[in-house]
Amino acid sequence: MSDEHGHDPALEVHDLTVSYLRRPVLYGVDFLVPQGRLVGIIGPNGAGKSTLIKSIMGLVPASGGWARIYGKPVKEQIRRVGYVPQRESVDWDFPVNVMDVVLMGCYGRIGLIRRTGRKEKARASEALDKVGMLPYAGRQISNLSGGQQQRVFIARALAQESDIYLMDEPFSGVDAATEAALVTLMKEMRDMGKTVIVVHHDLATAREYFDMLLLLNMRVVAFGNTREVFTGKLLQQTYGGRLTVLSEIADKVAKDGG
């Protein structure tokens, strides 16, 4: 499937279904992300947001459906996708420094057995510079704050030089300055034609960060441009009974004429 300009969509997910120990976690997820968009995936806890991107990456087996990157199965396009796992998923006491972690971003490209060289170092330094972490290149990773850890993860993703990025909760537990810096960076990436898909949990900021939103609660509640889907009614559907937080945001949406 191509859009009106004949481009393959950056990401196409069709009827994706995932179960865990026979219990369905995601049913029939269908959506299509054009190139060069900054997309937020939002939904309540347990909605399957992380599972969705893990299963797109093939890290969690799908029991049905498929995902394609630029028109081809993800397996064939592995160089074009950068995955940023949750920060908590790794052991930050591991004996590596910041530079080592960012260099890992280059591993997929240089292939088996070969080692990282000057070219990769330069690329990693550039990525670190973009997230403002170059002065910390030699720092052991256990001495970083949460925000700095997340910046390192994003730098590693930049070093991968992918066309589409899937990021799992990059804003969780980071300071406000880091969050602002990362959003700016993501917008820059989008302006360069990259597609960035972000699992996000903060409704209050979702509207100003993303071009498009996927409202998810085990199935797709809505997918589209932020302006069209960030409505009180759809959010209510996504979050079900959890009204207390929601009504405030719904009020705000109504007030702003959203």
Partner 1 sequence: MALFVTVACALIGNYLVLRRISLVGDAISHSVLPGIAIAFIMTGSRTGTPMFIGALVAGVAATVFIEILHSRSRLKQDAAIGITFSTLFAIGVILISIHGAHTDLDLDCVLFGKMDFLPVKEPVFLGLPGVAVTMGALAFCVGLLIILFYKELLVSSFDPALAASMGIHPRLVHYLLMSVLSVVVVGAFTSVGAILVIAMLILPAATSCLLSERLWVMMLLSLLHAFLSSLAGVHLAVALQVPTAPACVVAGTGLFVIAWIASPRQGLISLWLRNPDPEGAMEA
Which one of residues 49, 130, 156, 190 is an interface residue with partner 1 (CB under 8 A)? 156
Distance CA 190, CA 206 (A): 16
Interface with partner 1 (CB under 8 A), residue from 1, 112, 176, 192? 112
Cα–Cα dist 68/12, whole Å: 5
Angle (CA) 50 52 56, round 5°: 120
> Of residues 7, 73, 89, 145, which one binds partner 1 by CB under 8 A?
89
Among positions 20, 64, 90, 175, the unique one binding partner 1 when judged by CB under 8 A: 90
Q: Is 91 in the site for partner 1 (CB under 8 A)?
A: yes
In degrees and rounded to multiples of 5, residue 173 shows phi and psi of 70, 25
Q: Does 85 bind partner 1 (CB under 8 A)?
A: yes
CB of 218 to partner 1, least distance (A): 22
The size of the interface with partner 1 (CB under 8 A), counted in residues, is 29
When the beta carbons of 109 and 252 are compared against partner 1, the nearer one is 109
At residue 30, what are phi and psi to the nearest 5 degrees?
Answer: -130, 120
Would you count residue 104 as binding partner 1 (CB under 8 A)? yes
Shortest distance (Å) from residue 25 CB to partner 1: 16
Is residue 246 within 8 Å of 226, Cβ to Cβ?
A: no
Q: Is residue 218 at the binding interface for partner 1, with CB under 8 A as the rule?
A: no
Binding residue for partner 1, selected from 10, 25, 52, 54, defined by CB under 8 A: 54
Enumerate long-range contacts of 94-98, CB under 8 Å, 24 or more apart: 94/141, 94/142, 95/140, 96/140, 96/141, 97/137, 97/138, 97/139, 97/140, 97/141, 98/128, 98/133, 98/136, 98/137, 98/138, 98/139, 98/141, 98/144, 98/152
Could you list the residues that contact partner 1 (CB under 8 A)?
54, 57-59, 75, 78, 81-83, 85, 89-91, 94-97, 100-101, 104, 107-108, 112-113, 115-116, 140, 156, 160
